[in-house]
Structure 1
Amino acid sequence: MTKKQKKVLWRIIATAVLVAVVKLFSIGGVAGTVLYLAAYLIIGYDILRKAFRGIIKGQVFDENFLMAVATVGAIALAVYEKSGDYLEAVAVMLFYQIGELFQSYAVGKSRRSITALMDIRPDYANIEQDGKLVQVDPDDVAVGSIIVVQPGEKIPLDGVVTEGSSTLNTAALTGESLPRDAAVGDEVISGCVNMTGVLKIRTTKAFGESTVSKILELVENSSSHKSRSENFISKFARIYTPAVCIGALVLAVLPPVVRLVMGLSGDWGTWVYRALTFLVISCPCALVISIPLSFFAGLGGASRAGVLVKGSNYLETLSKTRVVVFDKTGTLTQGVFDVTGVHHNTMPQKKVLEYAALAECASSHPISKSLQRAYGGEIDRHRVTDVQEISGNGITAKVDGTDVAVGNSKLMDRLGIAWHDCHSVGTIIHLAIDGQYAGHIVISDVVKPHAKEAIAALKRAGVEKTVMLTGDIRRVADHVAEELGVDEVHSELLPADKVAQVERLLSNADGKLAFVGDGINDAPVLSRADIGIAMGAMGSDAAIEAADVVLMDDDPLKIAKAIRISRKCLRIVYENIVFALGIKGLCLVLGAMGIANMWAAIFADVGVMVIAVLNAIRALQVKNL
């Protein structure tokens, strides 16, 4: 509990004690009045101050104004009727503050679920100087530096392990407690906790561009993106509050005036009391507080599950997803390519791999990496000149002065080179030397362990269609789609073709469309889809920047969980809207008729708010979704 919350709690206790003393000892007269007014000022002085400031600033109609008018009016009515009973006025303020304290605690709990991620921010990085470890600010570590991470320390920057092996705790990033092994050559991301061995890591990104910085930026900005429901409630409150104030004024004045015209007693006290009850009932706290809290709790629950949603508007869109489109490589497959076959004409196998690896040495594509691994020799870039990358086709270059073309069948057709068909399942890389076909290399990608389960989980979550887009050849794409149970597949696509396919699917979709990708080529499609989902752990910065939702552990199974979280959150929002408006509407009618008194009004305001807040924080519970 914060210092401010403790202060409010003590004021609540002090007020309750004063009221109890007055009632238990039946203190009346001047003494009773003084004690009641003291209790009222103790519990309500801040509400009165906020209401007065609102009037001065021209921002009159809010819950503070309603509470102030209702309670001051109740005190004035007690004075007018000479009843000396100010309990209702004190009780309205007392229970309102109890509700506010409860709401503050619930918001704090939701906020802590998100800001707990701030613990992943590293305080320092270890640099070895003269045989000693020196702690420096992570911002001061240059790309390419060697840092040392000891057991129990956070990895401060993204990089590659150059020495040592260990297990890493990724729970703060992914929500998963299962540790991951790290050894020489493995990429590691900032924010993980080193559990066992000492690691030396060569940094690959500056701190401002590291995974941990990106996550913190996403979390800090998530509350600025409001959902349609939140915007509606804000606009609703601006219209609703003045309307009920006018309604209360009419209720207080019109019936007595009509009675006087009819020759009857005005009975002003009764109608003013009903109007004050009407004001307390109409306070929009339950809606204004519980709706944003529901979304905030939903964002917090998602972050605890390793799913970062950039705002409540994206959470709302995600809940309406009916079509999920995947880019194959890196999302449904691991994006780790291995050479599984080399078919050559007269040239030796080793030479085929050497030409292919050298020609591709300037590329960062996973296929290029796999060719270089398969070759296994030293890559001397001075041997390579005139490199030209043809998007969606491949690469042409000169290796030792020899013209080399490495790519798919489209590249061979483009160059007018006859190529041999291959019936192997995998990506086929064709090679031509000096305009003559030299053979082809079979490279296979591996399906992710949870990919098939992820597709099935999406169907159970209510997704009507799953689609896979890939630049791979049709035979490989169809094989993967059939293995995973994907509904629709489109292969041999260029980046522009993927955008066109998404445009077509958007025009035909009954509901929202989500696109899942991880590569830099996916950024345009991620931006075009209704909701873009990026693989965060190994995805490109461009994809993460363009996406609306980021999966921190690259597990496609989390997509269905994210959808279920969003739908639970929206269900809670609608429950609170219907419940709050229903109870308040009923009590307003009963209050106007004189059936509901001030105690019923307290329940309609504070009771409804507490129930709505309790319901809202259920959005934090996502473990079993």
Structure 2
Amino acid sequence: MKYIFRIENLDCANCGNKIEVRLNKEPYIKEAILNFMLKKLTIHVKEEEAEHYPEEKLRKEIEKLADEIEKGIKILSVVDEEEVYIAPPHEDCHCDVHDHEGSCECHTHNSEGGLSRNGQKLTSAPKAKRDNAIKNFLESEKLEPTLLIVSIILLAIGAVLDQSILLIIAYICVGYDVVINAAKNFVKGKMLDENFLMTIATIAAFAIGEYPEAVAVMVFYKIGEYLQGKAVNYSRKEIEKAMDIRPSFARVIRNGKEQVVSPEAVLKGEIIEVRAGEKLPLDGVVIEGTSTLDTSMLTGEALPVVAQLGSKVLSGSINKEGVIKVEVTTSFKNSTVSKILELIENASSKKSKSENFITKFARWYTPIVVGLAILTAIVPSLITGNWQHWVYSSIIFLVISCPCALVVSVPLGFFAGIGAAAQVGVLVKGSNYLEELNTIDTVVFDKTGTITKGEFGVSQIITQGMAKEELLALAARIEAKSNHPIAKSIVSAYGKLKDEEIIGEYKEISGEGIVVNQGDSVLLAGNEKLMAHYQIDYKQEEEIGSHVYVARDGQYLGCIVVADQIKADSKAAIAKLKAGGIKKVIMLTGDKKENAYKIGNEVGIDTVHAELLPQDKVTKLEEALKNGKVAFVGDGINDAPVLARADVGIAMGGVGSDAAIEASDIVLMTDELSSIADVMSIAKRTRKIVTQNIVFALGVKVIVLVLGILGIANMWLAIFADVGVSLLAVINSIRVLGKNVGYALRMVRGK
């Protein structure tokens, strides 16, 4: 049984890891996945335990366990949004929360007839107003920065005037919650959390007479935590904004009237209206109106798409102009936007090697550093008798014993990388796949639908004494009644045929072509066999593709070559991959050798394997895997075995394709191969920034530890090595999205 919960008041990534580890040790839980970035907890309860743990009981058990690790955490059930209706906002109300009957939460009437706001009775009593004001302030976000400012002022005055009492008051103001949580954790036997370690470090500083430094450490610790929380939350919002394709409402037509409801409440077959500037809430078919749609949030493609009568439209697209009515073809749960959102949310649960390393490292880092702190305080002091120096050095160890800089910044870096990929129309199904892209040195392509369009098109017209346009027109008239793909491509190349242009008695000879009798004339369009059958003296062409020879009354008129068209960006995309460090590009196809070699040479393929059966493609891929790390790129429909076998499977054209999303590790939402080089570039940028964070955080901590032992470092430097490094690592992580220094400063300010 699977349950999804939302987490509130979880600000410590390391604590999040501890909660996940603790939950996975519970006997009734099969798997627990905590997504710190999205504040989401996914719990898989063992089948045999499911009846003993209904959702509400499970929620309370999880909240109790989580509260033991970080105080104040709230675990909230995810409401079944299919039952939520949204009514249009009132013109005179600025509240954006409305129930299904159209009433807003801003103004309701209580049982005593008095007007209430947000469900609370309003009163004019001065005492009640004062009580509410105090309560609201204590619960508001203004309390912490206010206490910080007061503490800084008291610290400055106390340090200048050498007044210990002011310093103690400053310490209580800024660190009371840290000390209280430390005491509670101590009672529970939890002595390696950050609250306890920071409390011991600062009390030890008081004990050796370092009052100003004790208060300063707590002040700067709280400042760093505050700014880090702001930066993490702002980063998360920016990443979510980059991937924000979820529609908030739908205008459904019921009984001739428009209702504004949640997309989940709309049923398949219902009619919705979408106005200019609104997101399409569900997939469907246009039944009225014409407009252009911005699909860039889905595909990364900036060019607008025309939507008219009969056009299939996808949820998440933005209607740029006019009003269209759409018949819904899928429920929201099965819509394109819902599948993409689910894929992105689940991506964070598939951790990279770097994330797994940091998780394991964090479990050992704190106990080891605390152990070193104890040894540093006791052993040298017993030998030298200089307790002041060595206790001070041990405090430095305690201050930098939390691995938050790594635990926060590494997952945030990969989360930002997944968000950056989504911005260019690429869905990466896990941090592990984003990291794996850095190791790829060989890219293997399927041909049809990947390098080529997978559609037949007229590539050449060769005539014998007549105009090309005339030969194409005649061939289109002959092929007009055929359903063969080659026939359709010729008719499509000519344009729409008028009824009077469709000619005569039609006869299709299987495996040869078409014969049409028009009056006394016999018209032929087909392959070499048809020409031989009617003893036509024709010239056999050598051009790559399928040949349609045309003859009239025994006279050969020319040949139309129909071939699969190469995508416009295939050659440039392959060149871009090679420029980015890919050593070898291979193409696998079941097509004829001459066709395959011509296409391969044209687009810059290094090795071509043609005339392959599906099982042969797997064999060729395994040969490539022996020589390096391989990514396979296919259409995600006929290539499932090869996609699964590759180190990284990349599917093309994922919009609306369930098969593509299921079969691959990475989904390109467009048919443009250039997206592969883009996501590989993002993967490299992500790895570079994540590596910077790991080296920077570990390097600074090790340097400060050494300096502390040597008596050079002080507690000011130690606090920088803890919260300062964490803050800088978080700011650095968001650079994956291509943000600059000015953006980083706005992040810290929370604006």
TM-score range, shorter chain: 0.7 to 0.9
1:520 match: secondary structure: coil
1:310 corresponds to 2:429: yes
1:331 match: secondary structure: helix
Structure 1 residues 157-556: aligned runs within 5 Å: 157-259=282-384, 266-338=385-457, 354=481, 356-357=483-484, 423-426=542-545, 443-509=562-628, 512-538=629-655, 540-556=657-673
Structure 1 residues 51-90: aligned runs within 5 Å: 51-55=182-186, 59-78=190-209, 85-90=210-215
Matching residue's letter, 2:410: I
Task: Select the residue among 33, 36, 56 that pairs with 2:167.
Answer: 36
Matching residue's letter, 1:452: K
Alignment CA distance shift 1:176-1:483 (3 Å): same
Alignment CA distance shift 1:530-1:64 (3 Å): farther
Contact 2:476 2:490 in 1 (8 A): no
Name 1:565's counterpart in structure 2. Answer: 682
Task: Select the residue among 170, 179, 184 that pairs with 1:48.
Answer: 179
Alignment CA distance shift 1:603-1:340 (3 Å): closer
Matching residue's letter, 1:619: V
Alignment CA distance shift 1:41-1:372 (3 Å): farther
1:445 match: secondary structure: strand
In structure 2, how many angstroms separate the alpha carbons of the residues matched to 1:212 and 1:372?
A: 36
Instruction: Give 1:252 shift.
Output: 0.7
1:613 corresponds to 2:744: no
In structure 2, how many angstroms separate the alpha carbons of the residues matched to 1:441 and 1:607?
A: 70
Instruction: Give 1:506 shift.
Output: 1.3
2:639 match: secondary structure: helix
- Stretch moving more, 243-252 or 520-529: 520-529
Name 1:433's counterpart in structure 2. Answer: none
Contact 1:160 1:202 in 2 (8 A): yes
In structure 1, how many angstroms separate the alpha carbons of the residues matched to 2:234 and 2:389?
A: 43
Alignment CA distance shift 1:268-1:128 (3 Å): closer
Alignment CA distance shift 1:593-1:559 (3 Å): same
2:451 match: secondary structure: coil
Alignment CA distance shift 1:242-1:232 (3 Å): same
In structure 1, how many angstroms separate the alpha carbons of the residues matched to 2:329 and 2:512?
A: 28
RMSD: 3.8
1:16 corresponds to 2:152: yes
In structure 2, how many angstroms separate the alpha carbons of the residues matched to 1:4 and 1:453?
A: 55
- Stretch moving more, 141-150 or 606-615: 141-150
Alignment CA distance shift 1:519-1:582 (3 Å): closer
1:151 match: secondary structure: coil
Residues 78-129 of structure 1 show CA distances to partners (whole Å, capped at 9, x for unaligned) of 2xxxxxx522112112222222223222322332233225642224444555
1:212 match: secondary structure: helix
Instruction: Give 1:317 shift.
Output: 0.6
Instruction: Give 1:58 shift.
Output: 5.1
Contact 1:341 1:442 in 2 (8 A): yes
Alignment CA distance shift 1:102-1:490 (3 Å): farther
Contact 1:518 1:538 in 2 (8 A): no
1:330 match: secondary structure: helix
Matching residue's letter, 1:473: K
In structure 2, how many angstroms separate the alpha carbons of the residues matched to 1:356 and 1:116?
A: 46
Gaps of 5+ in 1: 79-84, 260-265, 361-366, 378-401, 413-417, 431-439
Matching residue's letter, 1:500: T
Give the number of aligned pairs.
553
Alignment CA distance shift 1:507-1:171 (3 Å): same
Alignment CA distance shift 1:466-1:423 (3 Å): same
In structure 2, how many angstroms separate the alpha carbons of the residues matched to 1:187 and 1:474?
A: 37
Instruction: Give 1:422 shift.
Output: 6.8
The TM-score normalised by the length of structure 1 is 0.78
The TM-score normalised by the length of structure 2 is 0.66
In structure 2, how many angstroms separate the alpha carbons of the residues matched to 1:495 and 1:353?
A: 34
Q: Which structure is higher in RCO with an 8 Å CA cutoff and minimum separation 6?
A: 1
Contact 2:479 2:487 in 1 (8 A): no
Contact 1:144 1:202 in 2 (8 A): yes
Identity %: 51
Matching residue's letter, 1:326: F
Contact 2:299 2:670 in 1 (8 A): yes
In structure 2, how many angstroms separate the alpha carbons of the residues matched to 1:189 and 1:255?
A: 70
1:296 match: secondary structure: helix
Matching residue's letter, 2:305: R
